[in-house]
Protein backbone atom coordinates (compact mmCIF):
# COMPACT_ATOMS: atom_id res chain seq x y z
CA UNK A 1 0.00 0.00 0.00
CA UNK A 2 1.47 3.37 -0.94
CA UNK A 3 2.65 5.50 1.96
CA UNK A 4 0.12 8.01 3.19
CA UNK A 5 0.94 11.62 3.80
CA UNK A 6 2.12 11.72 7.39
CA UNK A 7 4.17 13.74 9.82
CA UNK A 8 6.65 16.16 8.33
CA UNK A 9 9.39 14.66 10.49
CA UNK A 10 11.99 11.98 9.96
CA UNK A 11 12.21 9.44 12.76
CA UNK A 12 15.42 8.11 14.23
CA UNK A 13 14.84 4.38 14.60
CA UNK A 14 15.87 3.72 18.15
CA UNK A 15 17.12 0.18 17.96
CA UNK A 16 20.80 0.14 17.16
CA UNK A 17 22.77 1.48 20.08
CA UNK A 18 26.27 0.66 18.87
CA UNK A 19 28.91 -0.77 21.19
CA UNK A 20 30.75 2.55 21.34
CA UNK A 21 27.59 4.24 22.63
CA UNK A 22 26.60 6.04 19.42
CA UNK A 23 23.11 5.55 18.13
CA UNK A 24 22.47 3.84 14.85
CA UNK A 25 19.64 4.07 13.32
CA UNK A 26 -5.79 -6.46 14.60
CA UNK A 27 -5.13 -8.25 17.13
CA UNK A 28 -6.08 -11.78 17.91
CA UNK A 29 -6.75 -13.03 14.39
CA UNK A 30 -5.73 -16.59 13.56
CA UNK A 31 -3.42 -17.24 10.62
CA UNK A 32 -3.04 -20.89 9.60
CA UNK A 33 -3.60 -22.14 13.13
CA UNK A 34 -1.16 -19.83 14.93
CA UNK A 35 -2.73 -17.32 17.28
CA UNK A 36 -1.23 -14.89 19.75
CA UNK A 37 -3.49 -14.73 22.80
CA UNK A 38 -4.68 -11.15 23.16
CA UNK A 39 -5.96 -10.23 26.60
CA UNK A 40 -9.16 -8.33 27.29
CA UNK A 41 -8.51 -5.06 29.11
CA UNK A 42 -9.24 -4.70 32.78
CA UNK A 43 -11.86 -2.23 34.00
CA UNK A 44 -9.73 0.86 34.49
CA UNK A 45 -6.00 1.00 35.05
CA UNK A 46 -4.03 -0.03 38.09
CA UNK A 47 -2.96 2.74 40.45
CA UNK A 48 0.37 4.46 39.91
CA UNK A 49 1.70 2.78 43.10
CA UNK A 50 1.56 -0.52 41.22
CA UNK A 51 4.16 0.46 38.61
CA UNK A 52 6.98 -1.46 40.39
CA UNK A 53 4.75 -4.55 40.42
CA UNK A 54 4.07 -4.17 36.69
CA UNK A 55 7.79 -3.84 35.99
CA UNK A 56 8.55 -6.94 38.07
CA UNK A 57 5.89 -8.83 36.13
CA UNK A 58 7.08 -7.81 32.67
CA UNK A 59 10.86 -7.63 33.16
CA UNK A 60 11.50 -11.41 32.83
CA UNK A 61 9.97 -11.28 29.34
CA UNK A 62 12.26 -8.47 28.13
CA UNK A 63 15.48 -9.55 26.39
CA UNK A 64 18.70 -7.87 25.27
CA UNK A 65 19.59 -8.43 21.59
CA UNK A 66 23.07 -8.03 20.12
CA UNK A 67 23.50 -8.07 16.34
CA UNK A 68 26.73 -8.31 14.33
CA UNK A 69 26.94 -7.67 10.59
CA UNK A 70 30.01 -6.95 8.47
CA UNK A 71 32.17 -5.79 11.34
CA UNK A 72 29.46 -3.57 12.79
CA UNK A 73 27.52 -4.37 15.93
CA UNK A 74 24.55 -2.92 17.71
CA UNK A 75 22.07 -3.72 20.43
CA UNK A 76 18.34 -3.57 20.82
CA UNK A 77 15.52 -5.06 22.81
CA UNK A 78 12.89 -7.73 22.32
CA UNK A 79 10.16 -9.41 24.30
CA UNK A 80 9.14 -13.05 24.60
CA UNK A 81 5.82 -13.68 22.85
CA UNK A 82 5.68 -17.47 23.38
CA UNK A 83 7.22 -19.65 26.06
CA UNK A 84 8.90 -21.86 23.42
CA UNK A 85 11.40 -19.17 22.47
CA UNK A 86 9.67 -16.83 20.01
CA UNK A 87 10.68 -13.19 20.50
CA UNK A 88 9.30 -10.02 18.90
CA UNK A 89 11.59 -7.12 18.05
CA UNK A 90 12.08 -4.54 15.29
CA UNK A 91 13.28 -5.33 11.81
CA UNK A 92 15.90 -2.60 12.06
CA UNK A 93 17.30 -4.22 15.20
CA UNK A 94 18.09 -7.50 13.42
CA UNK A 95 19.37 -5.78 10.25
CA UNK A 96 21.30 -2.89 11.85
CA UNK A 97 19.19 -0.57 9.69
CA UNK A 98 20.27 -2.39 6.54
CA UNK A 99 18.55 -4.60 3.95
CA UNK A 100 19.71 -8.01 5.23
CA UNK A 101 19.67 -9.80 8.61
CA UNK A 102 22.71 -9.81 10.86
CA UNK A 103 25.28 -12.57 10.60
CA UNK A 104 25.16 -13.14 14.35
CA UNK A 105 22.33 -12.60 16.82
CA UNK A 106 22.68 -13.11 20.56
CA UNK A 107 19.82 -12.92 23.03
CA UNK A 108 20.43 -12.43 26.72
CA UNK A 109 17.62 -13.11 29.19
CA UNK A 110 17.18 -11.18 32.42
CA UNK A 111 18.48 -14.20 34.36
CA UNK A 112 21.82 -13.87 32.54
CA UNK A 113 21.48 -16.82 30.17
CA UNK A 114 22.67 -16.11 26.63
CA UNK A 115 21.49 -17.88 23.46
CA UNK A 116 22.28 -17.74 19.78
CA UNK A 117 19.15 -16.64 17.93
CA UNK A 118 17.83 -17.12 14.43
CA UNK A 119 15.60 -14.79 12.45
CA UNK A 120 12.27 -16.51 11.84
CA UNK A 121 11.00 -13.74 9.62
CA UNK A 122 10.75 -9.99 9.27
CA UNK A 123 8.49 -7.37 7.74
CA UNK A 124 10.14 -4.07 6.78
CA UNK A 125 6.75 -2.48 6.06
CA UNK A 126 5.82 -2.63 9.75
CA UNK A 127 9.42 -2.75 11.09
CA UNK A 128 8.61 -6.02 12.87
CA UNK A 129 10.80 -9.12 13.15
CA UNK A 130 10.50 -12.42 15.00
CA UNK A 131 13.57 -14.26 16.27
CA UNK A 132 13.76 -17.57 18.10
CA UNK A 133 16.02 -19.10 20.68
CA UNK A 134 16.14 -22.81 21.54
CA UNK A 135 14.62 -22.67 25.00
CA UNK A 136 11.36 -23.67 26.64
CA UNK A 137 9.37 -22.61 29.67
CA UNK A 138 10.13 -18.93 29.17
CA UNK A 139 8.07 -16.06 30.56
CA UNK A 140 5.85 -14.78 27.76
CA UNK A 141 4.31 -11.35 28.22
CA UNK A 142 0.56 -10.97 27.61
CA UNK A 143 -0.57 -8.86 24.66
CA UNK A 144 -3.35 -6.31 24.99
CA UNK A 145 -5.67 -4.61 22.51
CA UNK A 146 -4.18 -1.29 21.47
CA UNK A 147 -7.56 -0.39 19.97
CA UNK A 148 -9.06 -0.24 23.48
CA UNK A 149 -6.37 1.95 25.05
CA UNK A 150 -7.40 5.59 25.30
CA UNK A 151 -5.28 8.64 24.62
CA UNK A 152 -3.97 9.78 27.99
CA UNK A 153 -3.57 6.27 29.40
CA UNK A 154 -0.37 5.74 31.40
CA UNK A 155 2.17 3.45 29.72
CA UNK A 156 5.68 2.16 30.40
CA UNK A 157 8.47 1.73 27.84
CA UNK A 158 10.94 -0.99 28.80
CA UNK A 159 14.19 -1.61 26.97
CA UNK A 160 17.97 -1.54 26.92
CA UNK A 161 18.36 2.18 26.33
CA UNK A 162 21.90 3.21 25.33
CA UNK A 163 23.09 -0.33 26.17
CA UNK A 164 23.45 0.70 29.79
CA UNK A 165 24.56 -2.09 32.16
CA UNK A 166 22.34 -3.47 34.90
CA UNK A 167 19.24 -4.54 33.02
CA UNK A 168 16.50 -2.77 31.07
CA UNK A 169 15.53 0.86 31.58
CA UNK A 170 11.94 1.76 32.46
CA UNK A 171 10.38 5.08 31.43
CA UNK A 172 6.86 6.31 32.10
CA UNK A 173 4.54 8.38 29.97
CA UNK A 174 1.10 8.48 28.43
CA UNK A 175 -0.41 7.56 25.11
CA UNK A 176 -0.13 10.93 23.38
CA UNK A 177 -1.95 9.96 20.17
CA UNK A 178 -2.95 6.89 18.20
CA UNK A 179 -2.85 5.74 14.59
CA UNK A 180 0.04 7.99 13.59
CA UNK A 181 1.84 7.53 10.25
CA UNK A 182 5.57 8.22 10.20
CA UNK A 183 8.21 8.52 7.49
CA UNK A 184 11.52 7.03 8.67
CA UNK A 185 13.70 8.21 5.81
CA UNK A 186 15.15 4.72 5.30
CA UNK A 187 12.19 2.64 4.19
CA UNK A 188 8.42 2.54 3.86
CA UNK A 189 6.33 4.89 5.99
CA UNK A 190 5.14 3.16 9.15
CA UNK A 191 1.41 3.12 9.81
CA UNK A 192 -0.88 2.77 12.81
CA UNK A 193 1.70 3.92 15.37
CA UNK A 194 1.08 4.80 18.99
CA UNK A 195 2.66 8.11 19.96
CA UNK A 196 3.93 8.37 23.52
CA UNK A 197 5.92 10.78 25.67
CA UNK A 198 7.63 7.89 27.47
CA UNK A 199 11.31 8.30 26.63
CA UNK A 200 12.47 6.03 23.77
CA UNK A 201 16.22 6.11 23.16
CA UNK A 202 18.70 4.16 21.03
CA UNK A 203 18.68 0.58 22.29
CA UNK A 204 14.97 0.75 23.25
CA UNK A 205 13.75 -0.44 19.88
CA UNK A 206 11.95 -3.76 19.90
CA UNK A 207 11.01 -3.45 23.55
CA UNK A 208 7.45 -3.47 24.85
CA UNK A 209 5.16 -0.52 25.46
CA UNK A 210 3.11 -1.75 28.39
CA UNK A 211 -0.12 -0.70 30.08
CA UNK A 212 -0.53 -0.66 33.84
CA UNK A 213 -2.33 -3.99 33.45
CA UNK A 214 1.02 -5.46 32.36
CA UNK A 215 -0.07 -5.97 28.75
CA UNK A 216 1.99 -5.12 25.68
CA UNK A 217 0.15 -2.74 23.35
CA UNK A 218 3.11 -1.68 21.22
CA UNK A 219 6.66 -2.36 20.05
CA UNK A 220 8.86 0.67 20.75
CA UNK A 221 10.30 1.74 17.44
CA UNK A 222 11.35 5.35 16.95
CA UNK A 223 12.08 8.65 18.59
CA UNK A 224 12.21 12.14 17.08
CA UNK A 225 15.66 13.68 17.79
CA UNK A 226 14.56 17.24 17.04
CA UNK A 227 11.46 17.04 19.26
CA UNK A 228 10.86 16.67 22.97
CA UNK A 229 9.07 13.67 24.45
CA UNK A 230 7.79 12.23 21.17
CA UNK A 231 8.30 8.54 20.56
CA UNK A 232 6.46 5.90 18.58
CA UNK A 233 5.51 2.25 18.94
CA UNK A 234 4.00 -0.21 16.45
CA UNK A 235 0.55 -0.99 17.86
CA UNK A 236 -0.58 -4.52 18.71
CA UNK A 237 -3.38 -4.10 16.16
CA UNK A 238 -0.64 -3.97 13.53
CA UNK A 239 2.07 -6.29 14.87
CA UNK A 240 -0.03 -9.24 16.08
CA UNK A 241 -1.27 -10.43 12.64
CA UNK A 242 2.22 -9.90 11.21
CA UNK A 243 3.81 -11.99 13.98
CA UNK A 244 1.20 -14.71 13.55
CA UNK A 245 1.87 -14.88 9.83
CA UNK A 246 5.65 -14.95 10.29
CA UNK A 247 5.39 -17.88 12.72
CA UNK A 248 2.80 -19.84 10.78
CA UNK A 249 4.35 -19.39 7.33
CA UNK A 250 7.98 -19.76 8.21
CA UNK A 251 8.87 -16.12 7.90
CA UNK A 252 7.04 -15.15 4.72
CA UNK A 253 4.78 -12.14 5.12
CA UNK A 254 2.31 -11.79 2.27
CA UNK A 255 0.07 -8.75 2.23
CA UNK A 256 -2.91 -8.47 -0.06
CA UNK A 257 -2.97 -5.36 -2.24
CA UNK A 258 -5.78 -2.92 -2.93
CA UNK A 259 -3.84 -0.12 -4.60
CA UNK A 260 -4.93 2.82 -2.47
CA UNK A 261 -3.26 5.46 -0.37
CA UNK A 262 -5.40 6.20 2.66
CA UNK A 263 -5.58 8.25 5.82
CA UNK A 264 -7.67 7.73 8.93
CA UNK A 265 -10.88 9.62 9.58
CA UNK A 266 -10.87 11.66 12.78
CA UNK A 267 -13.81 13.53 14.30
CA UNK A 268 -12.18 16.82 13.22
CA UNK A 269 -11.74 15.61 9.63
CA UNK A 270 -15.29 14.28 9.60
CA UNK A 271 -16.62 17.65 10.76
CA UNK A 272 -14.48 19.70 8.38
CA UNK A 273 -15.42 17.57 5.36
CA UNK A 274 -19.01 16.90 6.35
CA UNK A 275 -18.47 13.14 6.34
CA UNK A 276 -21.34 10.84 7.35
CA UNK A 277 -19.09 8.83 9.69
CA UNK A 278 -16.46 9.68 12.33
CA UNK A 279 -14.41 6.49 11.84
CA UNK A 280 -13.02 4.85 8.73
CA UNK A 281 -10.30 5.47 6.16
CA UNK A 282 -10.40 8.07 3.42
CA UNK A 283 -9.11 7.06 0.01
CA UNK A 284 -6.51 9.69 -0.89
CA UNK A 285 -5.22 8.14 -4.11
CA UNK A 286 -6.09 5.15 -6.29
CA UNK A 287 -3.33 3.54 -8.38
CA UNK A 288 -4.37 3.27 -12.04
CA UNK A 289 -5.23 -0.31 -13.00
CA UNK A 290 -5.14 -1.48 -9.39
CA UNK A 291 -7.76 -3.73 -7.75
CA UNK A 292 -9.34 -0.64 -6.17
CA UNK A 293 -9.43 1.12 -9.53
CA UNK A 294 -11.09 -1.87 -11.19
CA UNK A 295 -13.64 -2.03 -8.34
CA UNK A 296 -14.60 1.60 -8.93
CA UNK A 297 -13.16 3.22 -5.80
CA UNK A 298 -12.29 6.89 -6.09
CA UNK A 299 -10.38 9.48 -4.05
CA UNK A 300 -12.65 10.85 -1.35
CA UNK A 301 -14.44 7.56 -0.72
CA UNK A 302 -14.54 6.56 2.95
CA UNK A 303 -14.09 2.83 3.58
CA UNK A 304 -15.70 1.47 6.75
CA UNK A 305 -15.53 -2.30 6.20
CA UNK A 306 -13.32 -4.69 4.22
CA UNK A 307 -13.83 -8.47 4.02
CA UNK A 308 -16.51 -8.27 6.70
CA UNK A 309 -14.21 -6.54 9.20
CA UNK A 310 -14.82 -3.03 10.50
CA UNK A 311 -12.16 -0.59 9.33
CA UNK A 312 -11.93 2.42 11.63
CA UNK A 313 -8.31 3.40 10.93
CA UNK A 314 -5.27 2.77 8.75
CA UNK A 315 -4.08 0.26 11.37
CA UNK A 316 -7.33 -1.68 10.98
CA UNK A 317 -6.94 -1.79 7.21
CA UNK A 318 -3.34 -3.00 7.50
CA UNK A 319 -4.46 -5.72 9.90
CA UNK A 320 -7.21 -6.88 7.54
CA UNK A 321 -4.97 -6.95 4.46
CA UNK A 322 -2.24 -8.99 6.14
CA UNK A 323 -4.86 -11.68 6.87
CA UNK A 324 -6.12 -11.90 3.27
CA UNK A 325 -4.69 -13.62 0.20
CA UNK A 326 -4.06 -12.33 -3.30
CA UNK A 327 -6.87 -13.48 -5.58
CA UNK A 328 -9.54 -13.35 -2.88
CA UNK A 329 -12.65 -11.34 -3.66
CA UNK A 330 -13.89 -9.25 -0.74
CA UNK A 331 -16.70 -6.81 -0.15
CA UNK A 332 -15.68 -3.21 0.52
CA UNK A 333 -18.27 -1.06 2.25
CA UNK A 334 -17.71 2.66 1.74
CA UNK A 335 -19.39 6.03 1.62
CA UNK A 336 -19.37 8.33 -1.37
CA UNK A 337 -20.85 11.58 -0.24
CA UNK A 338 -23.73 10.54 2.00
CA UNK A 339 -24.45 7.32 0.11
CA UNK A 340 -23.41 3.96 1.57
CA UNK A 341 -22.15 1.61 -1.13
CA UNK A 342 -20.63 -1.86 -1.46
CA UNK A 343 -18.01 -2.86 -4.03
CA UNK A 344 -16.71 -6.31 -4.88
CA UNK A 345 -12.90 -6.15 -5.03
CA UNK A 346 -10.47 -8.88 -6.06
CA UNK A 347 -7.25 -8.40 -4.11
CA UNK A 348 -3.86 -8.44 -5.78
CA UNK A 349 -0.35 -9.26 -4.59
CA UNK A 350 1.55 -6.53 -2.75
CA UNK A 351 4.16 -5.14 -5.19
CA UNK A 352 7.82 -5.42 -4.20
Report pTM: 0.81
Q: Angle at CA 101, nearest 5°, toward 100 and 103?
A: 115
Residue 30's pLDDT is what?
39
Helix or strand or coil: residue 306? strand
Residue 4's pLDDT is what?
33
Instruction: Check 23, 61, 73, 92 and give the catalytic one.
Output: 92
Contacting residues for 97 by C-beta, under 8 A, at least 6 apart: 13, 15, 16, 24, 25, 186
Active-site residue, 301 included: no
Residue 49's pLDDT is what?
55
CA–CA distances in Å: residue 325 to residues 32, 262, 338: 12, 20, 31
CA atoms within 13 A on the CB side of 299: 7
Residue 315's pLDDT is what?
82
Eight-class DSSP state of 135: -
Among the listed residues 212, 261, 211, 258, the one whose alpha carbon sits nearest the alpha carbon of residue 236: 211
What backbone phi and psi angles, to 5 degrees, belong to 246? -60, -45
Helix or strand or coil: residue 198? coil
Contacting residues for 149 by C-beta, under 8 A, at least 6 apart: 41, 155, 175, 178, 194, 211, 217
Helix or strand or coil: residue 53? helix
Active-site residue, 84 included: no
Task: Give the separation between CA 193 and CA 177, rounded to whole angstroms.
Answer: 9
Helix or strand or coil: residue 60? helix
CA–CA distances in Å: residue 103 to residues 69, 88, 118, 119, 209: 5, 18, 10, 10, 28
Active-site residue, 111 included: no
Q: How would DSSP label each residue in 202-241?
A: TT-TTPEEEETTS-EEEEEEEE-TTSSS-EEEEEHHHHHH
Residue 187's pLDDT is what?
60
Helix or strand or coil: residue 171? strand
Residue 29's pLDDT is what?
38
Among the listed residues 252, 275, 285, the one whose alpha carbon sits nearest the alpha carbon of residue 336: 275
Q: How does pLDDT run along the chain (352 residues), one tens digit per residue?
A: 333 322 333 445 665 554 433 333 333 433 344 667 676 655 545 455 589 999 999 999 999 999 999 889 999 999 999 999 999 999 999 999 888 999 999 999 999 999 999 999 999 889 999 999 999 999 999 999 998 999 999 999 999 998 888 889 999 999 999 988 887 765 667 888 999 999 998 899 999 999 999 999 999 998 777 778 899 999 999 999 999 999 998 777 778 999 999 999 988 999 999 999 999 999 999 999 999 999 999 999 999 999 999 999 888 898 899 888 899 999 999 999 999 999 999 999 877 6
Eight-class DSSP state of 32: T
Eight-class DSSP state of 7: -
Residues counted in the chain: 352
Task: Give the separation between CA 189 and CA 232, rounded to whole angstroms.
Answer: 13
Q: Which long-range contacts (CB under 8 A, 24 or more apart) does 71-74 make?
A: 72/18, 72/96, 73/18, 73/19, 74/15, 74/16, 74/17, 74/18, 74/19, 74/24, 74/25
186 — alpha (psi -120 to 50), left (phi > 0) or beta? alpha
Residue 37's pLDDT is what?
65
Instruction: Check 205, 236, 264, 290 and give the catalytic one.
Output: 205
Instruction: Check 123, 127, 179, 301 and give the catalytic one.
Output: 127
Task: Give the separation between CA 262 and CA 84, rounded to whole angstroms.
Answer: 38
Task: Give the separation between CA 67 and CA 10, rounded to whole angstroms.
Answer: 24
Residue 5's pLDDT is what?
27
Amino acid sequence: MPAVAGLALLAALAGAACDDGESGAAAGATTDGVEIAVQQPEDGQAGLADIPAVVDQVRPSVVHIRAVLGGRSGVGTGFIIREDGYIVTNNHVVTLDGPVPAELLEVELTDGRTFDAEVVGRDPETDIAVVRIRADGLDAVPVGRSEDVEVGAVVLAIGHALNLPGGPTVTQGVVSAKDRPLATGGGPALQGLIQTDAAINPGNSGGPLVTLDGQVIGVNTAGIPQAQNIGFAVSSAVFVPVVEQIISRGGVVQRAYMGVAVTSVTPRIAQDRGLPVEEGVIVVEVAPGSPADRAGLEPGDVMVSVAGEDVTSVADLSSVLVQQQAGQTVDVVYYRGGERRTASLTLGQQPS
